[in-house]
Amino acid sequence: DQQVKQNSPSLSVQEGRISILNCDYTNSMFDYFLWYKKYPAEGPTFLISISSIKDKNEDGRFTVFLNKSAKHLSLHIVPSQPGDSAVYFCAASEKGWDKLTFGTGTRLQVTL
């Protein structure tokens, strides 16, 4: 039973435009949500997180939005750059930096 879902396996965006990656979850006990970026043959690196008491968190070009009633979060990257091309994983936990449940990932390709 997939508790965290990323329904788009891939996304292609032009350089300079906005990338929007989506994530849905089913477990109401999740209270902390994170996005990780992963290049091939490397471990995931942390990008940005949001607590369930907030609905938005920004860090430079990256913004995460949380809609608790819809059990949906999204990652916005503005403007997109070629170096952003990677696989992005959404993750959730029931308490902070505890064990994370990951989605299946979305491969983002930023084209010139």
Partner 1 sequence: DVKVTQSSRYLVKRTGEKVFLECVQDMDHENMFWYRQDPGLGLRLIYFSYDVKMKEKGDIPEGYSVSREKKERFSLILESASTNQTSMYLCASSSREGAFFGQGTRLTVV
Tell me how many residues contact partner 1 (CB under 8 A): 23
- Report the distance separating Cα 71 and Cα 59, nearest Å: 22
Backbone angles phi, psi at 66, to 5 degrees: -125, 125
Distance of CA 99 to the CA centre of its chain: 17
Tell me: does residue 21 bind partner 1 (CB under 8 A). no
Tell me: does residue 110 bind partner 1 (CB under 8 A). no
- Paired tokens of 6: 């990323």
- Least distance in angstroms from the C-beta of 104 to partner 1: 4
Residue 57 or residue 104: which is nearer to partner 1 going by CB?
A: 104
* Chosen residue from 19, 35, 44, 63 binding partner 1 by CB under 8 A: 44
- Report the distance separating Cα 22 and Cα 10, nearest Å: 11
Binding stretches for partner 1 (CB under 8 A): 4, 6, 9, 34, 36, 41-46, 89, 91, 96-105
